[in-house]
């Protein structure tokens, strides 16, 4: 149950990090967003780009 909640939160966080690029494909992630993305991926090996 805790794992399911953590995975759900991780997916939501990843969606929020990616949203600006999804809205404007010509934009890029700033250094803080890139660090957040790397952290999410390191904590959730099942996530995919």
Give the domain extent around 25. Answer: 2-40
Instruction: Examine residue 35 and state whether it is found in any structural domain, yes or no.
Output: yes
Q: Is residue 11 part of a domain?
A: yes
Residues 48 and 29: their CA atoms lie apart, in Å, by 17
Q: Which helix (H) or strand (E) holds 2?
A: helix 2-23
pLDDT tens digit sequence for 1-49: 888 888 899 889 888 888 877 787 777 778 898 888 888 888 766 655 4
Model pLDDT, residue 48 = 53
The answer to whether residue 47 sits within a structural domain is no
Please tell me the pTM assigned to this model. Answer: 0.47
Domains of the chain: total: 1
Q: Is residue 6 part of a domain?
A: yes
For residue 49, what pLDDT is reported? Answer: 47
pLDDT of residue 19: 84
């Amino acid at each position: 149950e805790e794992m399911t909640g953590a995975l759900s939160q991780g997916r939501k966080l990843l969606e929020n990090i990616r949203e600006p690029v999804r809205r404007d494909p010509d934009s890029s992630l700033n250094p803080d967003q890139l660090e957040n993305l790397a952290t999410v991926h390191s904590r959730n090996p099942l996530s995919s780009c």
